[in-house]
Amino acid sequence: MTSAFQAALVADDLDAIRACPKADLHVHAIGGGSRAFLLERTGRDVAPVDGVMRSMSEMHAWADEHLADLFAGPEGRALAFEAAFVQAKEDGVTLIEIGEERVGRHAARRLGGVGLGMRGLVGCW
């Protein structure tokens, strides 16, 4: 028997996929959040990556340039977590494990270079 989730995947139906409850056990708070939420909250449109990154250094450089100042300090880190929970809820995620990582050598310094993690129920957000 095909599940509703499997049928939605086969049909490439994003709305149906989002309607199915699911868990996401590897979410990055910084860079994993809702772009629409960030635009609404900050007025800043974080453009998606427009190609293939060929190394971690390239990814860190992109994050330093596009994300580090937005998520700097305690308020910025809270914004990153909130944006990630908003995206998870929009995607139908009901259980999430989320972490804050070092987003790049320079960004890590601006962000305090900490690594935090948490698991939670999205519906509680």
The residue length of the chain stands at: 125
Give the pTM. 0.74
Residue 53 CA to residue 51 CA, distance in Å, equals 6
Tens digits of residue pLDDT in 30-87: 888 999 999 999 999 998 888 999 998 998 899 889 999 999 998 998 899 899 989 9
